[in-house]
């Protein structure tokens, strides 16, 4: 079949060969998607031309060229983002009628009653989120709230609150799981900055449920059959239940929110959607907001902990950015070039987001014709590992890469935040929060890797900090949707103690 199809359809993207009909590349895609995508690019000679995969009977086009991706950003006539978003809404439980209402252009009456309503309700909600997150007073208010929560959680008495198991400790030091630490700090801070404390009162296990959802949400996006996805469905439904209960409360009981929450709620209630649909929509918003910060911070900290000299350099660089135990965000953003370079390098290596589009009419791209009713995947991580762009050490962490070549942060092959009109609006607040965490941590605490013996689970404690057995591997065996986390079992244990300032 793979020999004859190019002859019959010479202009279609070529299919990467597979053995089992219908299943196609499903097993390999779910076990190590990045390796499969790399193989596809190599199989077709690293030409950058689009190629095709088959996933459970569905054809998926893969675009690997930065030039083609730029063209996809510009194409708004035959490539649709909205179809994919509508699918996300339907898969979480929105009825066809609710989806129709969300994408219905505003009537003249609606425009008259609310002059700012010039788009469909769904587009208005997205616009409200952009207004929340783009530079201005709304962003300043949100960032101030998030950083205040981070500040509180980085107090000595609060450090071990988010740990999921008992680890060695004393009055003078704590052993922390790095991923538990960053996850609890950022997801709790972001959730409370947006929706207040009520969500955690409704469901005290919200964070643990979210972590399960995050590990399994790729099954949702790629619609893996329920037989193999019950863990994802259970976590999804529990999160929706929490948000539904939240929106059933009187607004007076949940008044401490970000600007976005009540205005987005009003937009959806105006078209007749109830609390269950509000819960579904805000669960998706919560997922989009929380996909990156804690994992980016995890990788920055992991690299610094494995390189004590670099850690001390960052401690010294960020020290003037903490005044009276408070982070000076403008200073940290403008005067920490080494931290900035490490931040970009971590995003390059660990960001696994992809752009999805739906083909609504035959579309020529990269010399190939994409057929209608197919989906297009643009995995940015392939660009980030291209040795022709980044050199022979493309797969290796280089803390000086962006320090010595600052222009790389603007290279078209560097896409940690996507591009076009859907470029991630949260990039501004995320950077502020991550830099605040790093600066406050190194200002308040002495941190180092727990020794090999302690990483193995011993309850005894050594006063000598050693190295964990291996640097953690990224969880790139499953399809990634945002920043990759560490593989299960690749633990990073951190010994933390209050810093004695001389």
Place of tokens 């990224």: 474
The C-alpha atoms of residue 447 and residue 185 are separated, in whole angstroms, by 16
Q: Count of CB atoms within 10 A of residue 294's CB?
A: 27
DSSP-assigned states of every residue in 235-281: HHHHHHHHHHHHHHS-GGGG----THHHHHHHHHHTTT--HHHHHHH
Q: In this structure, is the dihedral angle defined by the CA atoms of residues 210, 215, 220 and 225, taken in order, positive or negative?
A: negative
- Is the sign of the CA dihedral 174, 175, 180, 182 positive or negative? positive
Are 409 and 344 within 8 A, CB to CB?
A: yes
Q: Which two tokens stand for residue 382?
A: 């392939």
Contact 13, 41 (CB under 8 A): no
Please list, in sequence order, all residues whose beta carbon lies within 8 angstroms of the beta carbon of residue 137, skipping any fewer than 6 positions away. none
| Buried/exposed code over 126-156 (b: 16+ C-beta within 10 A; e: otherwise) | bbbbebbbeeeebbeebbebbbebbbebbee
**C-alpha triplet 206, 250, 105: angle, nearest 5°:** 85
Token code pair at residue 148: 């205040």
Is residue 474 classed as helix, strand or coil in its secondary structure?
A: strand
- Is residue 169 a known part of a binding site? no
Annotated binding residues, as ranges? 424
Please report, in range form, the residues annotated as the binding site for heme.
424
């Amino acid at each position: 079949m793979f020999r004859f199809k190019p002859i019959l359809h010479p202009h279609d993207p070529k299919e990467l060969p597979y053995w089992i009909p219908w299943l196609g590349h499903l097993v390999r895609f779910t076990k190590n998607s990045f390796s499969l995508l790399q193989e596809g690019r190599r199989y077709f000679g690293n030409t950058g031309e689009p190629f095709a995969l088959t996933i459970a009977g569905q054809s998926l086009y893969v675009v690997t060229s930065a030039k083609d991706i730029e063209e996809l950003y510009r194409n708004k006539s035959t490539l649709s983002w909205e179809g994919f978003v509508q699918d996300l809404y339907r898969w979480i439980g929105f009825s066809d009628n609710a989806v129709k209402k969300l994408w219905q252009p505003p009537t003249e009456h609606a425009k008259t009653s609310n002059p700012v309503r010039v788009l469909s309700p769904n587009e208005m909600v997205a616009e409200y989120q952009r207004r929340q997150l783009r530079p201005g007073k709304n962003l300043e208010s949100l960032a101030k709230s998030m950083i205040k929560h981070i500040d509180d959680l980085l107090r000595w008495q609060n450090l071990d609150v988010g740990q999921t198991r008992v680890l060695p400790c004393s009055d003078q030091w704590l052993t922390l799981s790095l991923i538990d630490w960053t996850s609890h700090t950022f997801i709790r801070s972001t959730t409370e900055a947006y929706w207040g404390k009520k969500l955690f009162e409704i469901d005290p296990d919200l964070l643990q449920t979210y972590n399960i959802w995050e590990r399994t949400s790729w099954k949702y996006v790629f619609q893996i059959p329920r037989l193999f996805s019950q863990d994802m469905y259970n976590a999804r439904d529990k999160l929706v239940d929490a948000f539904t209960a939240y929106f059933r409360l009187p607004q007076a009981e949940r008044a401490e929110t970000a600007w976005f929450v009540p205005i987005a709620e009003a937009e959806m209630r105006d078209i007749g959607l109830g609390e269950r649909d509000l819960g579904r929509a805000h669960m998706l918003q919560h997922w989009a907001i929380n996909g990156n910060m804690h994992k980016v911070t995890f990788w920055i900290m992991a690299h610094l902990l494995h390189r004590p000299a670099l850690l001390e350099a960052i401690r010294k660089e960020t020290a003037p950015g903490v005044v009276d135990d408070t982070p000076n965000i403008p200073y940290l953003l403008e005067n920490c070039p080494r931290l900035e370079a490490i931040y970009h390098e971590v995003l390059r290596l660990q960001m696994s987001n992809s752009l999805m589009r739906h083909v609504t009419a035959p579309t020529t791209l990269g010399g190939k014709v994409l057929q209608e009713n197919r989906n297009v995947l643009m995995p940015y991580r392939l660009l980030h590992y291209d040795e022709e762009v980044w050199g022979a050490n493309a797969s290796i962490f280089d803390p000086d890469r962006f320090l010595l070549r600052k222009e790389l942060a603007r290279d078209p092959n560097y896409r940690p935040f996507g591009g076009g009109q859907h470029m991630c609006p949260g990039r501004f607040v995320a950077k502020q929060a991550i830099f605040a965490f790093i600066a406050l941590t190194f200002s308040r605490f002495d941190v180092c890797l727990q020794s090999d013996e302690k990483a193995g689970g011993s309850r005894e404690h050594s006063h000598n900090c050693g190295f964990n057995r291996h640097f953690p591997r990224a969880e790139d065996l499953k399809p990634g949707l945002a920043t990759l986390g560490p593989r299960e079992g690749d633990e990073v244990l951190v010994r933390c103690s209050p810093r004695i300032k001389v």
